[in-house]
Structure 1
Amino acid sequence: MNPSTASSITSSVWTPIRVDLVPFLPNSSPSEGAKLAAAQAIRQACETDGLFLLDYRGWVRTRDVLRVAGPAPSFDIGTTSGGAGKSRSSNRSTEKHVAAETDDSKEAIDHTCMKACGPINRRRLSSYPRVLDAIASFFALPLQEKEALPSLHSQGFSRGYIPVLGESGLKGQFVEWKEGFSMGYESADGGEEGSSEGARDPSAGAAWGQRERADVATRRASSLSPSPQNPLEGPNVWPTSSTALAALRGGGTGKGGTAWREEMQAFFVDMIALSRALSRALSLALGREEGWLEAVCGEGGERISLLRAFHYMSSSSLPPSIPPSRALGSSPHTDWGLFTIILQQRQESIGEEEGDEEEGGLQFRGRPQGARVEAGEEGEELEWVRVPWVAETLIVNCGDFLAMLSERLVAEGKARAGGRREGGREGASERGRRPFHSPVHRVTLSPSRDRTSLVFFFYPSYDTPMPAAGREGL
């Protein structure tokens, strides 16, 4: 597909496959059938569109304790280390203490949660639109405040504020009409290296050390260190001016730079925990054991993973020098990592029909929705397919590394199947597999509305060899 065709009209709206990740969370006590069903759904989505949805319905907050609400929760979106989720039965004892007011009762709550789920992070998000509100408060800062924030960008390393027109995947073809904020794995000393000297908030570093850092350190203690280990590691940078600190908002009623910073850090840790559970599900979807993908990709991938927040501005705000036909929120591209998790801002429909082209937003280059594609078919007509906002879901997008890895597995499976008798069960299953798809995608602009999204890029470890992904010559 030639990226220059990006200006073509979208002709359909995505019909997504929705996945329940609960079976892959620790302490969920799932049946093997539930795991296989989820893995099969992921496999189907990855072999076709390369995208699917994860539900996060069923979780509420009560006095700083996350608990299950309703009979059929999906996954816990970051309550415990390593993405640990709680089954309904594991929450019964916790719910008995929810109304407790005394310090002793609160300690009992903590003990119950620690026993069932591992370390719990207080003040964790229960509704992800709250983190969108937090990042919106950053983008609402005066331009001079955002531009004054230290910005570190070099050869793939990205931290801090991304100014308007600060990047474009297809220079000379499209203008990316957006601004952004980029952050990564927090350093072991609290991540204060990026703060301006003399303007640090000492409580912020302590907060990270006592809560969020514990999650990351639980399974990656050996990889934590205060100094960068490769060119893609480095310090985060945070707003420090009095104007910015007064204007920023954290989750719920939290205000100020400390609350905002903790909100962003907590979301990053949530995404790490979720990515670990998702890696287990993807391993089964690839026809391997649950721990296989993590073993192939090595330890420490979270240290180079990125969380990027984007504010896409409306095309009506373009200056006269930029024609709308040359403006996008993000140019057509694929993601090079393992997978990407996207939280979209709710986009109210402008027209009566779902899929109104006026909305703008994420689109991918895919087959016409509803088209049946058999294994081995190639050369289908592709079109831009719009990804609608769906309540209480996250979008998962397959990356190049995952696609290359699956290519090698499919090739190996076909070679093994060729040596077996026709009709053998294992051989037939492997012959039916197709490589996972890393979709070309873009973000279009709405003519009248701004929108915000948070995008988490989960990568294999920095020193994972490319031969493991099926590219021996690279």
Structure 2
Amino acid sequence: MDANPTEYTPITLPTIDLSLFSSSKPQSTLLLNSLSTAASTYGAFYVTSSSFTLSDEQAIISATKEFFSLPKEVKESVYYRNGGFVRGYIPMGGESGSERTEMKEAFSYGYDWDNRDPPASVLSPFSNSLEGHNQWGQLVDILGVKWKNVLTDYYAKMMQITKDCIKALEMAIGRDIQQPDKSGETISMIRLFHYFPHLNDGKMIGSSPHTDWGLLTLVLQPNSPRGLQIHYNNQWWDVPSKPGSFIVNCGDYLSLMTGGAVVSPLHRVVSDGESERYSLVFFYYPHYDTCLPSGQGSNLKLSLLMDQSVKYEGNDDDQKKNGTEGVTFGEYINRKWNQVARGDYFV
């Protein structure tokens, strides 16, 4: 299972043009079958959208690099705090899904409450523990209002693109997928990642093998060295970058609600040992109060159902299962972020 990560083995995944699903015209059987097969076989595929241009891609990648190029003390001024609500800066070593040190830093943000009319928490409190303001701190003063606008505009675009992706999936698999309502929109989030080059020595990794907890995950990875891999047919496969497209990973919640018919792929991030890597990841969640599906896919090996706070001793698969009976998705996510926190960074 832990094949040599220096061996480049690209996987072939279909690219789905979401604009083809925007009309009322019947979709081709070939297109629907391609998407359905990808979801049920790999749990991953590429999508493109006419609403996201190469100019948009260049702007958000530039904004990402601007943040990570800031002095350490500036980034550390917007630390996120452990406890479920994750907005702000996560330093290298601050999180891990295993015993390994994950050689990355990140910045997490979500729904822009500041632009609400009236502003959130002025006339009404946040409705759950995963809602709250983004941690901008002095970043806007240093990087400018335009920088912040690029990030918040990207969040709005990702929300719409993901909803379009769900519409396409519903047509492909022939069943409704429970979409987040407004509350789901306000707990979804984006993470900007900066991965450091490192040795693949068993002690360090870009991101530990895991499945994503939510409904869908969309990944933008610039034309860069290898990094993202998915596990299929007892082998790790590289997922190549494709400019202008997103990699879609189906999540644990979606896999559970379909009884495993849709795969939530095991994936990881590795290093070529020499190059930095950047990626932008949009985690699309269902409603906070949505109950986790019970009795469906109980034998599925999903990170959502595992205790990732376990001290591993070198085995990424040695995880303990948690019960889901009567637990809402939001409550579960609070647990999950607590489990993957590492080090003494958080209070």
TM-score by length of 1: 0.58
Q: Which of 330, 336, 350 does residue 207 from structure 2 map onto?
A: 330
Distance 1:236 1:6 in 2: 39
CA distance in 2, matches of 1:182, 1:436: 27
1:232 to 127, 130, 149: 130
1:361 aligned residue: 227
Query: Does residue 158 of structure 1 match 2:155?
Result: no
**Which residue in 1 is equivalent to 2:177?**
293
Deviation at 1:468, TM superposition (A): 7.4
Contact 1:405 1:469 in 2 (8 A): no
Q: Does 1:31 align with 2:25?
A: yes
- How many percent of aligned residue pairs carry the same amino acid? 35
Task: State the Cα RMSD in Å.
Answer: 2.8
Q: Identify the match of residue 456 of structure 1 among 259, 279, 282.
A: 282
1:16 is aligned to 13
Structure 1 match to 2:112: 186
Matched with 2:338 is: none
2:204 is the alignment partner of 1:306: no
Shift in Å, 1:129? 2.4
* 1:154 Cα deviation after fit: 2.8
> Is 2:158 the counterpart of 1:271?
yes
Q: Which residue of 2 aligns with 1:135?
A: 64
Shift of 1:77: 2.6
Offset at residue 163 of structure 1 (A): 0.9
Report the 3-state secondary structure (helix = DSSP H, G, I; strand = E; otherwise coil) of the residue aligned with 2:193: strand
Q: Secondary structure of the equivalent of 1:13?
A: coil
The answer on whether the counterparts of 2:259 and 2:297 sit within 8 Å (CA) in structure 1 is no
Q: Could you tell me whether the CA contact under 8 Å between 1:12 and 1:386 is conserved in 2?
A: yes
Alpha-carbon deviations, 1:435-470, whole Å to 9, x = none? Answer: 111111000123111111100000111111223783
Q: 2:164, 2:215 → 1: CA distance?
A: 13
- Aligned pair in 2 of structure 1 residues 260, 239: CA closer, same or farther (>3 Å)? farther
1:175 maps to amino acid? T
User: Any unmatched runs of 5+ in structure 2?
Assistant: 299-323, 326-347
Q: For the structure 1 residues 145 and 12, does the alpha-carbon distance in structure 2 shift closer, same or farther, using more than 3 Å as the test?
A: same
One-letter code of the match for 2:153?
Answer: A
Q: Distance in 2 between matches of 1:41 and 1:298?
A: 28
Per the TM alignment, residue 232 of structure 1 is displaced from its structure 2 partner at its CA by 1.3
Greater radius of gyration (CA): 1
Instruction: Read off the aligned partner of 2:14 and give its amino acid letter.
Output: I
Per-residue deviation, residues 156-182 of structure 1 (Å, max 9, x unmatched): 321011111111110x2x110111100
Report if aligned partners of 1:131, 1:263 keep a CA contact under 8 Å in 2: yes
User: Structure 1 residues 285, 21: closer, same or farther in 2, change over 3 A?
Assistant: same
Per the normalisation by structure 2, the TM-score is: 0.78
Q: 1:453 to 1:163 in 2, by over 3 A?
A: same
State the shift of 1:245 in Å: 3.2
- The residue aligned with 1:245 is 141
The superposition leaves residues 3-36 of structure 1 with CA deviations (integer Å, 9 ceiling, x where unpaired) of: xx476665621111111111333xxx342134x5
Question: Aligned partner of 2:52: which letter?
Answer: I
Q: Give the deviation of 1:360 after TM superposition.
A: 3.5
CA distance 1:444–1:229, shift in 2 (3 Å): same
Structure 1 residue 39: deviation in Å? Answer: 3.2
Query: 1:77 maps to what in 2?
Result: 52
SS at match of 1:407: coil
Tell me, yes or no, if the aligned pair for 1:298 and 1:464 is still in contact at 8 Å.
no
Aligned letter for 2:125? S
Which amino acid counterpart does residue 159 of structure 1 have in structure 2? R
* Matched residue count: 298
Q: In structure 1, give the amino acid aligned to 2:253.
A: F
Contact (CA 8 Å) 1:402, 1:469: kept in 2 or not? no
Is 1:394 the counterpart of 2:319? The answer is no
Q: Secondary structure at the match of 1:154?
A: coil
Decide whether aligned partners of structure 1 residues 298 and 468 sit closer, same or farther in structure 2, where only a CA change above 3 A counts: farther
Structure 1 pair 163–263 and aligned structure 2 pair: CA distance change class (3 A): same
